[in-house]
Structure 1
Amino acid sequence: MLRYVGSVFAGVLLIGGISGWAQSQSDSQTAPPPPPAAGASSAQDKARPDYQPAPFTFRAESRVVLTDVTVTDSHGNPVRGLPKGAFRVFDNGKPQKIDSFQEHSAQPGEKAEPIAAAASGNTFSNAYLKSLPPTLNVVVIDISNLGLSDQMYLNYELTKFFEQVPLNQPIAMYLRAGSGCFLVQDFTADRSLLQAALRRAIPRFPPTGREWLSELDTMHRLAISLGQFQGRKNVIWFSGGSTLFSGDWWLMDNYSDWRILYDELEQERIALYPVDARGLGMTPHVGQHMLMAEMAQATGGQAVYNNNGFKEAMTRILDTDRNYYTLTYSPSEFKRDNKYHKVRVEMADGSHYQLSYRQGYFADGSIGGTADLIERPRPRTRILSDGQRITLPSLGDQQIVFKAQLLAADSPEATQAKVNATIPAPKSRRGSKPYILRYSLPFSDIVTTPGSGQENGLQQIKVAVASMQLSSVGTPLEKRAELVQLTTTDQNAQAGAGRVILIDQPVNIGKDDAYLYLGVWDQTSGRTGTVTVPIPGAKR
């Protein structure tokens, strides 16, 4: 039996995780421990039938350079089956010893689970996390500098691509329609969901004041958002060129900001594929294309411009980058001197293959893209009230997989169901209707702690739930976040498998609300879970 103790207001972040809610709590509350660094093999990976243990594990005591290399032949086809000895690596012109080597090859017929949504359209989940492939693909549609006619053509080309996207390649879609960049479709291989998300995203009028917009902040937010996923992330960025060329040229000279960004993208293993969605035109855009090429070269991607075949470009990128090689090395005589180190990878036998990889890094103390390879901390031990010791795995980097239902506040399902906690309703919002968000959290994913005082002999549960309604351009319209405190017995805590914790959160849904951003957070373990979904029946 669970007993509801109460709820406390908590702050909310739109992008980049929700563990930051702890910052708004009182000093008497215990903040969660920082999430441990991601390991080479997560429990989620080990559950995969084709799981193979990674052949390398490194500590962060010295600089380890990780380089993902894609190899293609003269026809653009991926080259598979190359051994470690086929590659040579140079750091500032000096040959390096390859410490570890791994080939990543797409498995034919491998399917990815689409984002979970009930047939009624009012149940959402992040269950897709259980079946993500080792390489993720993200489409960013940036209309900040893209006219309506170009948007319509891009819509046409991507619609054709989504009609035949392979079922084993889930894709997420973000929209940049102003100063922010928000998720319009989480990772899914469901073609109908991708096409619906595209129709919601474009075409629409570009934002005003574009000369003051900067890609730097957008890419920083995107890096934080994608940092929750392990492995390589390919970001295919469709735009009308950088908005930096619309404003003051001094912005281009602030290279230190770009350096920080490139370090961040390297650490999260994000490769940029800038695509000029204006296609092949009569007006030259030399400066913008040079910046696109630099961004791609700095992150291990490729730039696409002066090309109208966006469908073919997407197909080529996805086919090529599911097949790549991961090389790591420790630079000899390494010094943290903040200088740029140029990386060069070549074929040992002189084969004329096309190699794409991140071509440099800064010796500034960053761990680079090796976060996935750092050894995990040892599991923690907890003592129950009866003196029994239990071991807790280090799970701070694994998301909580949860479900949420959106129910009309006066529906029988909302009023008659038994739940573990009901949060007080917010003030009504003009032009909105009351709804209930019912969160369903797996008991086995929540860590309990021994109670004290009047709760001695019981186990405490502290979880936060949050919701934010967004407009069609990503503007926050209403947000709520509460820390819910529950108690249960030791016996219930140890027998939590298969059980769920139900929490009702009243919200107001208005006519301009287009998307829901939902999050949960276990304050004890630091684990979080998030999902962004379109509101059923919402207008674009």
Structure 2
Amino acid sequence: MRRPVSVFAGLVPYNRLSMTGMSSLRSLAVVSVLLSVSMLIAPLPVDAQETPARSPRATFEDAVHVKVINVQVFVRDRDGNPVTGLTSDDFVLLEEKRPVPITNFYEVHERVKVGAVAGLVPGEPEVHIIDRPGLARRNYIVPEDERLNLIVYVDHHNIRPQNRNRFFRYVREFLRQHVTRDDRVMLLTYNRSVKVEREFTSDPQLIANALYDLEKHTGGRTMWDSDRADLIRDIGEEDRDYFFVQGRVRIYSQQIYNDMQFTLDGLKDSVISLAGLPGRKAFLYVSDGLPMRAGADMWEALDQRGRSVDSIEYDSNFYLDSLQYDSSRRFTDLVDTANANEVSFYTVDASGPMGINSRDASMQGMAFSSNIDSVARDNMHSSVMYMAEETGGQYIVNTNNFRDGLNRIALDFASYYSLGFQPGHAGTGRRYRIKVELTKEAQERLGLKRDRFVRHRLSYRDKSVDTEMTEGTLAALKLGYEKNDLEISLVKADEIRREERGLYTVHVDVQVPIGEMTLVPVGTEGEHLLRARIWVQALASNGDISPPQVEPFELTIPAEDLQRAMESYYTYTLPLIMKEGDQRLTVAVRDEVAGETSFVTRTLRVGV
């Protein structure tokens, strides 16, 4: 027997397989070395745990997994209004420049699914449709894969407090008017590290109220402005040694570049944490812009000084040195990560049209051209525009009219098309470029002959089943997401105090109804095979997260026991070593035949 190991060292329970009832049931299960498995099947004692009788599911000769890549597509007219009433025949979908058939299609208009859904994939669940005339609303439960998840991310380190607080007024209005209780909203902040201010909630007013507390924070861009003003003053003083000011520009650029790496790390980590979360994911990023190339405007100022004042010492090749402070590859990596995890960036530069000014009345020395401020603004805007354009989102830059910009974003939440296709590959882990166009006939009919009227994410990553399940388990653990198609349940059976102070062995029963699993007929005697895998991961009260553990299992059920097995369930007993206090545990189960999954999270109170 393997001794249980602390969840913080890997969540490894000991090996135990026991069976009660129906001794004639022969198990061909692979005995788990990580997860203990016990099976309870009729005939059972009076106090046995049974589920209500249910009809067996249809069985399949082999596991057939149909993978569909879904792409949100936004079609807008010349005034920015949604173009409605299109069908799948009006679109061309390309993967790596090659057309692929559209197998799934529906339209959402004013948050209501309207028109016809293709439903071309066999076994696709029935969807209740609301007819277009009048868009009369009915009782409609938004499926998890269609629910809006909005992440409001406030970058304290890269914003001026007055700009941030001014923009918050519009955000609160936006949340009240355009975010519903069918949506989930989370509030994150960044100030050299990411902080979860409010976890996902269906009450947008909680997020709106939390913004008041954030108005008290200082903004890191204020210090940046001070350093920039000092540097531009030194560059403009003609009696300053040219190589001295060049060294200062290098130091300034390096500091900003270093800060940018931490900023991009925070953004990327936040996007990765959303990987396993189903549904639409909109990431509202609020800052005063981000420099694509650190110190680009100061290198422009230095170039102007070299040409006009220090022509003898000036070497135009020095300008190439600024390329080492370029973060464009990091931004490309960020948008690739966002597209891989189906996250769309909606970026806001809260500084408005007059966010940068290189001179004031107190400055002496040479007069710089306005090109320096243009370089600075373009440098700040290009990054956040790129983030939005590549991921199918929108940006708000160079304006004080934040209300209109947020209203345009709200249109994306309410009206869009969903196009799905089946790739000719599975689980390669590769990134694939995609493009959606209107057919020539649709363009002529609508008078929209440019791609700029059609918007969507520009790539996706073909993830393996293992990757998707691992990401889903972590999302359920950290974000509170739950999906339970297999109707599994978690029950804390008991806990035993260990000799080590503050540690307990906790037995958790994972109950899986056999009738919810899809069984494969095998052999010649009517036997049926159950094939599944289970993932387990835990989050301690101090924030420590155990590595995920996964184990496959199989079980063969004789024909004479099949009906009674369908009316019962498996119990997997997990013996876990946990610290005293509240611990969060997520268990995921995947039916390997049908591909259906469950992600269930429970908080366990240990030792109290």
TM-score of Structure 1 vs Structure 2, range by shorter chain: 0.5 to 0.7
Aligned ranges for residues 39-188 of structure 1 at < 5 Å?
67-88=71-92, 96=99, 98-106=101-109, 133-188=146-201
Contact 1:212/1:247, CA 8 A, preserved across alignment = no
1:317 to 409, 416, 429: 409
2:260 to 213, 232, 241: 213
Question: Equivalent residue for 1:357?
Answer: 455
Cα deviation 1:324-379 (Å, max 9, x = unaligned): 223456999xxx9x999684624523334552434755xxxxxx2565xx9x79xx
Cα deviation 1:161-186 (Å, max 9, x = unaligned): 23334424524224232343343333
Per-residue deviation at 1:482? 11
Question: Equivalent residue for 2:395?
Answer: 303
Aligned length: 398
In 2, Cα distance between equivalents of 1:339 and 1:109: 32
Cα deviation 1:456-513 (Å, max 9, x = unaligned): xxxxx996532345xxxxxxxx6476999xxxxxx9998569999999966689xxxx
Contact 1:422/1:505, CA 8 A, preserved across alignment = no
Per-residue deviation at 1:396? 6.9
User: Which is richer in helix?
Assistant: 2
Q: CA 1:396 to 1:82, structure 2 compared with 1: closer, same or farther past 3 Å?
A: same
Q: CA 1:236 to 1:58, structure 2 compared with 1: closer, same or farther past 3 Å?
A: farther
Aligned ranges for residues 325-404 of structure 1 at < 5 Å?
325-327=417-419, 343=435, 345-348=437-440, 349-350=443-444, 351-353=446-448, 355-358=453-456, 360-361=458-459, 368=460
Per-residue deviation at 1:148? 1.7
Q: What secondary structure, in the 3-state scheme, does the structure 2 residue paired with 1:273 have?
A: strand
> Which runs of 5 or more structure 2 residues have no equivalent in the other structure?
16-30, 36-63, 114-140, 224-254, 297-321, 357-372, 480-490, 517-533, 550-563, 592-596, 604-608
After superposing the two structures, state which structure 1 stretch, 207-216 or 287-296, moved more.
207-216
Contact 1:77/1:320, CA 8 A, preserved across alignment = no
In 2, Cα distance between equivalents of 1:259 and 1:464: 31
In 2, Cα distance between equivalents of 1:339 and 1:529: 30
Q: Say whether 1:288 aligns with 2:291.
A: no
Q: What secondary structure, in the 3-state scheme, does the structure 1 residue paired with 2:393 have?
A: coil
Q: CA 1:345 to 1:219, structure 2 compared with 1: closer, same or farther past 3 Å?
A: farther
In 1, Cα distance between equivalents of 2:589 and 2:110: 38
TM-score, scaled to structure 1: 0.55
In 2, Cα distance between equivalents of 1:178 and 1:356: 35
Instruction: Report the AA paired with residue 71 of structure 1.
Output: V
Cα deviation 1:69-108 (Å, max 9, x = unaligned): 201223322222201232345678x673543351230565
Contact 2:4/2:14, CA 8 A, preserved across alignment = no
Cα deviation 1:98-136 (Å, max 9, x = unaligned): 4335123056589xxxxxxxxxxxxxxxxx998563443
Contact 2:510/2:571, CA 8 A, preserved across alignment = yes
Q: CA 1:199 to 1:100, structure 2 compared with 1: closer, same or farther past 3 Å?
A: same
Contact 1:69/1:327, CA 8 A, preserved across alignment = yes
Question: Equivalent residue for 1:228?
Answer: 276
> Which runs of 5 or more structure 1 residues have no equivalent in the other structure?
13-20, 33-56, 111-127, 362-367, 378-393, 405-417, 429-433, 448-460, 470-477, 485-490, 510-516, 533-540
Per-residue deviation at 1:142? 1.5
Instruction: Report the AA paired with residue 201 of structure 2.
Output: T
In 2, Cα distance between equivalents of 1:239 and 1:265: 18
Q: Say whether 1:9 aligns with 2:6.
A: yes
Q: CA 1:423 to 1:479, structure 2 compared with 1: closer, same or farther past 3 Å?
A: farther
Q: What secondary structure, in the 3-state scheme, does the structure 1 residue paired with 2:89 have?
A: helix
Contact 1:70/1:323, CA 8 A, preserved across alignment = yes
Q: CA 1:271 to 1:508, structure 2 compared with 1: closer, same or farther past 3 Å?
A: same
Q: What's the % identity of the aligned pairs?
A: 18
Q: CA 1:442 to 1:240, structure 2 compared with 1: closer, same or farther past 3 Å?
A: farther
Aligned ranges for residues 505-520 of structure 1 at < 5 Å?
518-520=584-586
Q: What secondary structure, in the 3-state scheme, does the structure 2 residue paired with 1:279 have?
A: coil
Question: Equivalent residue for 1:512?
Answer: none
Per-residue deviation at 1:398? 5.8
Cα deviation 1:298-349 (Å, max 9, x = unaligned): 21222111223434433321322432223456999xxx9x999684624523
Contact 1:71/1:78, CA 8 A, preserved across alignment = yes
Q: CA 1:522 to 1:233, structure 2 compared with 1: closer, same or farther past 3 Å?
A: closer
TM-score, scaled to structure 2: 0.50
Instruction: Report the AA paired with residue 261 of structure 1.
Output: L
Per-residue deviation at 1:146? 0.9
Q: CA 1:463 to 1:313, structure 2 compared with 1: closer, same or farther past 3 Å?
A: same
Instruction: Report the AA paired with residue 586 of structure 2.
Output: V
Question: Equivalent residue for 1:239?
Answer: 287
Q: CA 1:262 to 1:479, structure 2 compared with 1: closer, same or farther past 3 Å?
A: closer
In 1, Cα distance between equivalents of 2:439 and 2:575: 56
Q: CA 1:492 to 1:230, structure 2 compared with 1: closer, same or farther past 3 Å?
A: same
Instruction: Report the AA paired with residue 397 of structure 2.
Output: Y
Cα deviation 1:234-275 (Å, max 9, x = unaligned): 212111211555569546645544444333322222221211
Instruction: Report the AA paired with residue 10 of structure 1.
Output: V
Per-residue deviation at 1:149? 1.4
1:261 to 329, 334, 344: 334
Aligned ranges for residues 425-504 of structure 1 at < 5 Å?
443-444=511-512, 464-469=537-542, 479=544
Root-mean-square deviation (CA), in Å? 5.8
Instruction: Report the AA paired with residue 213 of structure 1.
Output: M
Instruction: Report the AA paired with residue 388 of structure 2.
Output: A
Structure label with greater radius of gyration: 2
Per-residue deviation at 1:195? 2.3
Q: What secondary structure, in the 3-state scheme, does the structure 2 residue paired with 1:78 have?
A: coil
Question: Equivalent residue for 1:192?
Answer: 205
Contact 1:402/1:442, CA 8 A, preserved across alignment = no
Contact 2:8/2:546, CA 8 A, preserved across alignment = yes
Q: CA 1:240 to 1:325, structure 2 compared with 1: closer, same or farther past 3 Å?
A: same
Contact 2:588/2:600, CA 8 A, preserved across alignment = no
In 2, Cα distance between equivalents of 1:167 and 1:308: 26
